[in-house]
Amino acid sequence: MIPRYSRPDMAAIWEPEARYRIWFEIEAHATEALAELGVVPGSAADALWRWWATNPSIDVAAIDAIEAVTKHDVIAFLTWVAEQVGDDARFMHQGMTSSDVLDTTLSVQLARASDILLADLDRLLEVLERRAHEHKLTPTIGRSHGIHAEPVTFGLKLAQAHAEFRRNRNRLAAARDDIATCAISGAVGTFANIDPRVEAHVADKLGLAIEPVSTQVIPRDRHAMFFATLGVIASSVERLATEVRHLQRTEVLEAEEYFSPGQKGSSAMPHKRNPVLTENLTGLARMVRGYVTPALENVALWHERDISHSSVERYIGPDATITLDFALVRLTGVIDKLLVYPERMQKNLDRMGGLVHSQRVLLALTQAGVSREDSYKLVQRNAMKVWESDGELSLQELLKADPEVTAALSTAEIDEKFDLDYHYRHVDTIFERVFAR
């Protein structure tokens, strides 16, 4: 992943030294368990941990140099450790296969990445809740097909996003649990040359669950679900980012990204204030979703194991988690500092001459004894006059001047149907549903 879209804590999980440190812990814990079972001498595990305590650094370049000859990363690592530890290192990796190390390590990395992403989501949820309550009753127009529909509040828009990201948090927590499994089962996963108790010991030390049946590799349906979950979260990021982008359009301008002192919007046009952060988030979301299909295709491996998944995961593991981490933090900042313009929202709400109240009049006519078909025609023919006048005419006044309408509804009854507060009488109920603890 390029540094521009990387945050240090998430990027550190995927550094080569971090990966090798997990490899060592797996090998040392496994050797420790083998010693307890009497398979290897106790001095072997002691030697590993003693060396680790006094020499905790990993020489990545030296391991890479060995791998250039062996063409095998795990063997290169074991060779390098043996050079450091001495004769006792020969008891490492007893009955294990490379996938035991690689797959369990990936589980640790994805679990740690999940913990960061869950914390990111928690911060985003806090900001969404605060801003939603801030604008709980800020009137704005709801749109369907991009066209004015009926009144909502800006707080409801943010409450909807909060509910969506809370679902995403639940999905990610479940995906984390599903991905955090340990497999130390040996070649083709039969435990022929290693006791299942070794796997249980390593799993306990690393905070992982035991993989029930690993066939030498951890089944990739787990990984597919994990990356699919990241893709869903990315889509939610894009959904909220797209809303902000629309609201910042000049013709709308109900909200916009914070524009800091000294910031420039265009190299050519000094007046520009562009939604660059949310446009960036839209692009990043596309990238995260792009990693989902390869993860799905990794599920179908040959027989008990092949490594067609390996090259894919070396890309998508770091890139998907690093990208989503950056995106969530950026989105949190956008919402936290979002500039909201209630006056412009009200102006847009009033722009089309009261058309947004048409449904209430329609329903009132039906309740007054007019058929639904005729009620619709009566309201629509007046509404179209307002539409074609670009809001210069008033639906309320046109209806009061229409004898077929006033035959069913009094002037006072028509006026009552244009009460904006009517639309917000259940906002408290919705907020209680979303934010109740």
d(CA 30, CA 105): 13
Characterize 15-27 residue by residue with b for buried, 16 or more Cβ atoms within 10 angstroms of its Cβ, and e for exposed.
eeebbbbbbbbbb
First to last CA, the chain: 38
* Tally of CA atoms within 13 A in the half-sphere of 223 that contains its CB: 30
Where helices occur in 135-210 by DSSP H, the ranges are: 154-179, 196-206
Question: What whole-number distance in Å separates Cα of residue 397 and Cα of residue 419?
Answer: 14
CB 290 within 8 A of CB 326: no
Q: Is residue 279 a contact partner of residue 327, using CB atoms and an 8 Å limit?
A: no
Cβ–Cβ < 8 Å for 184, 217? no
223 assigned to active site:
no
Distance, CA of 270 to CA of 81 (rounded, Å): 59
| Two tokens, residue 176 | 């984390």
DSSP H helical segments within 249-351, as ranges? 276-290, 292-297, 308-337, 342-350
Nearest-angstrom CA–CA distance, 13 and 112:
7
Choose the catalytic residue: 43, 266, 371, 410.
266
Q: How many whole angstroms separate alpha carbon 434 and alpha carbon 129?
A: 9
Backbone angles phi, psi at 415, to 5 degrees: -60, -40
Among candidate residues 57, 145, 267, 303, the one labeled active-site is 145
DSSP-based three-state secondary structure for 209:
strand
Spatial separation of the C-alpha atoms in residues 280 and 276, rounded to whole Å? 6
Is residue 214 annotated as a catalytic residue, yes or no?
Answer: no
What is the identity of the amino acid at 16? Answer: P
- CB atoms under 10 Å from CB of 148, counted, come to 18
Determine phi and psi for 409, rounding to 5 degrees: -125, 140
How many Cβ atoms sit within 10 Å of the Cβ of residue 315?
12
Burial of 109 (0-12, 13-18, 19+ CB in 10 A): buried
Residues noted as catalytic: 145, 266
